[in-house]
Amino acid sequence: MRLDTGRHRRTRTLSIATAVAVTACAGGVYLGLQSGGGARAATTTVTVSTTAQLESAVARATAGTTIQVRGGTYYPANTLKSTANGTGSARITLTAYGSEKVRIDGSKLAAGSWLAGIYGDYWTVSGITFQRSPAQGFVATSSVGGVFRNLVTANNGDSGFTLRGDGTTGNLVQNLDSHGNYDAASHGQNADGIAIKFGSGSNNKVTGARLYNNADDGLDLWQFSSPVTIEHSWAFGNGKNRWNDAAFEGNGNGFKLGGGGASVAHVVNNNAAWDNTLHGFTENSNTGAIALNRNTAYANAATGFYFATGKARLGKNLAVSNKKGTSKLGSSAVSAGNNWDSGIATPAFKSTDATTAHGARGSDGSLPATAFLTTGSTTIGSTMN
Ligand SMILES: [Ca+2]
Ligand SMILES: [Ca+2]
């Protein structure tokens, strides 16, 4: 059997605890098992270093399973899929081994296949790159309590990271980098950095994301009918035709906060959008009372904040050098303390060089430190961290 990451191949003595069924997996998955006593669920740690082991481990995961993936690039032949549920006290975890660099690559999947599809609750997925899928990179459907941390979704054939479906509740997306996603078959009209679309459910949050150079939008909340919280995230360089597509149809909003008939009060605080081909932030026909505070829109090709039809409430936002103006607000919008409101000064940026914002994240996955678009103001605009 071909090993994708031969240098990491090891064997280890199986330690089999009570009441845990261990099934030999192709290629010798090794397991360290710890069984809790009494009514506590058993926990199982599986360390994988080949694609076959990874596929098997994901397929067999149950509550309490931790799958550690050794460094290397893995090429699944089929979508990594699971319908298993963890619980709040026995999560299912799929994570890179230590700080090793793990790429799961969809370039051997059949056309139209997602790379990863999770349908269960209480998953933690961390430290992994999902790349080059023929369709979506990572998709969680109707999941409860998911933690998706320090992931990269890049160069997929549709949206990089997706939450979808009713019953999408209590998920945290933290420190996602999602870039270069492009749906060639539909000329870039669908591939967003992160899509939270076609569903509902409370207490979902995105924080610390960088959503950039995608064909369509940075973030898209199309037809998601419950409030989503978006904070401390950056969307930039979206909507440009980077693929020499003569019929390119990407939209290129930084933050597209609705559409498709949903009227919902998303919460959008302390984010930044720059260099996108359409608006920095827009309701996109969502008539709900979207709350936007301390966001910055800079040098987008259309309007900084475009909320022409709904009841958005905008406070302490900053818009500079957007080609079609700072804001376009309808009569139902509420606006106070933004730099387009009367009597509000526009503080100077300390830097308009985005180089450091494109740089490496902190070792904990946090956004890189940058002076880009900072002003030092304690009252207006994104703090860029
Ligand atoms: Ca689109
Ligand atoms: Ca979109």
Enumerate domains of the chain plus CATH numbers.
157-385 (2.160.20.10)
pLDDT of 29 over the 60 cut = no
Output the CA 192–ligand 1 centroid distance in Å: 8
**Tens-place pLDDT, residues 184-226:** 999 999 999 999 999 999 999 999 999 999 999 999 999 999 9
**Rounded to an integer, what distance in angstroms lies between the CA atom of residue 340 and that of residue 270?**
17
Helices and strands counted in the chain (H then E):
1, 33
Q: What is the mean pLDDT of residues 279-301?
A: 98
**Tens-place pLDDT, residues 129-179:** 999 999 999 999 999 999 999 999 999 999 999 999 999 999 999 999 999
Percent helix / strand / coil, the chain, rounded to 5? 5, 30, 65
In this prediction, residue 43 carries a pLDDT of 87
Output the CA 167–ligand 1 centroid distance in Å: 24
Q: Which residues contact 137 (CB under 8 A, 6 or more apart)?
A: 106, 114, 115, 116, 130, 131, 153, 154, 156, 158, 159, 160, 161, 162, 178, 181
**Rounded to an integer, what distance in angstroms lies between the CA atom of residue 261 and that of residue 253?**
18
In this prediction, residue 40 carries a pLDDT of 52
Output the CA 239–ligand 1 centroid distance in Å: 9
- Name residue 148's beta-bridge partners: 125, 173
Three-class DSSP category at 338: coil
In this prediction, residue 3 carries a pLDDT of 38
pLDDT of 5 over the 80 cut = no
Give the number of the ligand closest to the Cα of residue 198: 2
pLDDT of 246 over the 80 cut = yes
In this prediction, residue 17 carries a pLDDT of 34
Q: What is the mean pLDDT of residues 280-285?
A: 97
pLDDT of 267 over the 70 cut = yes
Give the number of the ligand closest to the Cα of residue 257: 2
Q: Rounded to 5 degrees, what angle do the CA atoms 229, 232, 234 make?
A: 105
In this prediction, residue 4 carries a pLDDT of 39
Annotated catalytic sites, by residue?
A: 256
Give the number of the ligand closest to the Cα of residue 222: 2
Q: What is the mean pLDDT of residues 30-42?
A: 48
Output the CA 186–ligand 1 centroid distance in Å: 10
Give the number of the ligand closest to the Cα of residue 192: 2
Q: Are 135 and 160 in contact (CB under 8 A)?
A: no
Average pLDDT, the chain: 92
Output the CA 351–ligand 2 centroid distance in Å: 29
Output the CA 324–ligand 2 centroid distance in Å: 21
